[in-house]
Each structure stands twice: as structure tokens, then as C-alpha cells.
Structure 1
């Protein structure tokens, strides 16, 4: 359920099960726990108590408790009786399912990118990657390049989805992207050693994307996601 829908239901329930302020505090707690997962502060397999989440988020125990069922439904937290909460471990099924969902959503969004994203924006993405590849080849890459590339990677893939204008797809992707980031930060973080491979894979789908070539952009994007999956599973 979107945040807007939750607020609307909260307004309708005033005087019965909760106030608008209660709903807002739950949303704050949800957003801050989500940020902890995205940042890698909460790690796969980690067990944490509700009270620790209260301290880490600066919210209330009630707000954290109300946010937890949503994380459980999304497969991002698991309740362990008498022990607390666990961040899911990165087993083969968790990783494979996340990347398969990513493949379905992103390749389906390519036609919308061609229709709705300005060519200048795509050209800027491509130029950045071409420049970064040249810097690596010349031995001039800055130490910050891997981190810059990782953030750019996440931004580009997010923009691909948002080009659809489909809020349902965007919300599914948002949850799935948390799982992807958990995997990336644990298994396949971008480094100076693998940056050139990642850049090459990006260029391979950005060039046909800029040309408006949907089939080749989809194929190259699919290869990039499949490559990321293989590296995450340790089979590349």
C-alpha cells in the first residue's frame, strides 16, 4: 500500500483505531528502517530487537511495532519468537528472485524510457560512462569512481522504472531494490577492479537506448542484469 493510501485510511479511521499523527509516525519509522537497510547498516542475517530499532530510528516503540508487519509482508524482516527480528539471509533463492524481478520490471520499462526520458538525459548518462572508461584506461580514475559509479547505477535503474509512470511498478521496484542493494553491498560492491566491467555493461545498453533501439537496449540490459546475478551468486 502506498504512503498516500495509508494516510487516507488513517484519516478515515480517526476516532476508531488511530489518528493521522499515529499514521505519520508509523511512516517515519518505516522510512528510517528502510534507510538503514538501504545503507547496509542492517546486514543480512542480523538479529535486532524492536527497542534497538527505536534507538536507531529515533521514533517510538509503537511506531516501530506498527511498521514491522509491512516489512514482514515485503520479505525484508522476519520475526523470530523470543529472539527479535532478523534481516533475511542472502540465500540463493533470495538473490535469484530479486534479480529475476528486476529483469522483468526493467526490460519492460525500456519502451517507456525511449518515449519519455529526454535524449539529453540519456546522452549525459552515456557520456559519463565513456569518460569514466577513458579515465580507467589512462590510469587516471579517482579513488571515488567506484562509489560514484554505484550511486549512478542505482539512479539510472530507478529512472528506468519511473519512466513508466506506473506507481504499482515503482513500489514493487522500490522494495525489490532494497533486496538488490543488500546483495550488492554484501556480495558485489563496485571496486576499482570490476568498475570497467560494470561501465562496459552500462554502455552496452545506454548506446541503443540513446538511439531509440528498444530490442537491443532490452537485450543488453538483460545481459547486464544476468551478469550481476551471476556475480552475486559467485558463479561468474
Structure 2
């Protein structure tokens, strides 16, 4: 339990930008930051290394992976494979009311951002974004796929915190991309849903690699 708690606290730091890509940190610093014991931190490190979330540098400490081209591309390509595979299951098993609710919330966000831009609303949009995509994967009811997606999502979150965070300036585009696949999902149009979702993920990868839309 202590090892799991230490792992979860370090993951939370990675998800929220408390540990930044390329940062080098010692085990003692992780103890101070997470409040976990040194023993539990040491026990959690092998799992974090196996997940590709930390790297041991002999005599230097632990390094958060850098966001090089391979790291970013691999994470987004895996995300695309997993989420596109989940579209049919999501359409078949997620209630219509859930899709309608997501669409309504996106439309409300869009109206609010156009009249009163603020980062709090953008942060709420970011949380909805992550929760919604994770729900697609959960609809497959496959524990192995869900675990692979969970680890990969941490890497995606690291990219987002550094390069793609939802802001009042880009929220309108993101909302539009979400509605482009949510509406056909509500209509049970698998092909259109997959096409729009792929475009959304491809756009995110392009931006994460420094491109422009």
C-alpha cells in the first residue's frame, strides 16, 4: 500500500506539472515533495522506470523523460491506436444521455469562453477532455488496454502541461474538434466518429511537435 501511494503521488506530480520533463530529482527530494517514506519511494521507482516515467542516472538521481520527438510521437501514435479502437465500443455501450451531456457542456463552454474568457473555465474544459477520452477506453472493458492507456496518458499529460494546455485562446478550436466527433458518436455514425477523432489526435500531435494549424 505504501509503495502504491508513493507511485500515485509521483504520477500526480507528473500529471500536474510538479515534475517537469528533463528535471532531475533525488529520492530525498521525492520524499519531501510527496510525503512518502524513503523506502516506499525506492520500491516505487522500478515500476516508474518500467512505465517509462522516470530514468535513473547513476550518481545524479532520477530524471523525468525529456519531450523529444520520439517520446511525443510514440505517445500520440499509441493514443490514436487505442482510442480509435475504442470508438465502436463507446458508441455501443455509453448511454445516449452521456453523449448528449458532453455535447451540452461543450456548447456551454463555447458560449462562456466567447463572452468571458478565463483560465478557470479552460482548466475545467481540460479535466472534461481527459475524463471523456478515458471513458471511451473504459467502454472496452479490457483491463490490459486500460492500463496501457493509463500509463500513456501520463506521458500525454506531460506534453499537454508543457505545450498544449487548454487556454482561453485555444479552447474554441479544441471544443470544435471535440464536437466534430461527439455529434456523430451520438448519431451512432462510427466512420464519421473515427475520422473526426483521428483528426483531433493528429492535430494535437502536430502542435506538440511545434507545428501550427
TM (norm. structure 2) is: 0.96
Who is 2:173 aligned against?
197
Shift of 1:152: 0.7
1:66-145 equivalent positions in 2, closer than 5 A: 66-137=43-114, 139-145=115-121
Question: For the Cα contact (< 8 Å) 2:119–2:167, is it kept in 1?
Answer: no
Q: Describe the SS at the equivalent of 1:45.
A: coil
**Equivalent-residue separation in structure 1 for 2:158 and 2:25 (angstroms):** 16
- Name which structure has the greater RCO, CA cutoff 8 Å, separation 6+: 2
- How many residues end up aligned between the 2 structures? 212
Which of the numbers 142, 150, 159 marks the counterpart of 2:126? 150
CA contact (8 A) 2:118 2:168 kept: no
* CA distance in 2 between partners of 1:134 and 1:42 (Å): 34
Q: Which runs of 5+ in 2 are unaligned?
A: none
Find the residue that maps to 2:62 and give its secondary structure: strand
* 1:164 paired to 2:140: yes
Closer, same or farther: CA 53–123 of 1 in aligned 2, 3 Å: same
SS, match of residue 42 in structure 1: coil
Distance in 2 between the 1:136 and 1:95 partners? 29
2:199 is aligned, of 218, 223, 232, to 223
Runs of 4+ with >4 A deviation = none
Larger Rg: 1
After superposition, residues 52-71 of structure 1 pair within 5 angstroms as 52-71=29-48
- Distance in 2, matches of 1:191 and 1:143, equals 6
**Quick one: structure 1 residues 59 and 142, their matched pair in 2 at CA, closer, same or farther if it must change by over 3 Å?**
closer
Residue 106 of structure 1 aligns to a residue in which SS?
Answer: helix
1:184 aligns with 2:160: yes
Structure 1 Cα separation of the partners of residues 121 and 27 of structure 2: 37
Residue 28 of structure 1, CA deviation: 1.2
User: In structure 2, what is the Cα distance between the partners aligned to 1:66 and 1:136?
Assistant: 45
- Aligned residue for 2:184, secondary structure, equals helix
Provide TM-score, normalisation by structure 1.
0.87
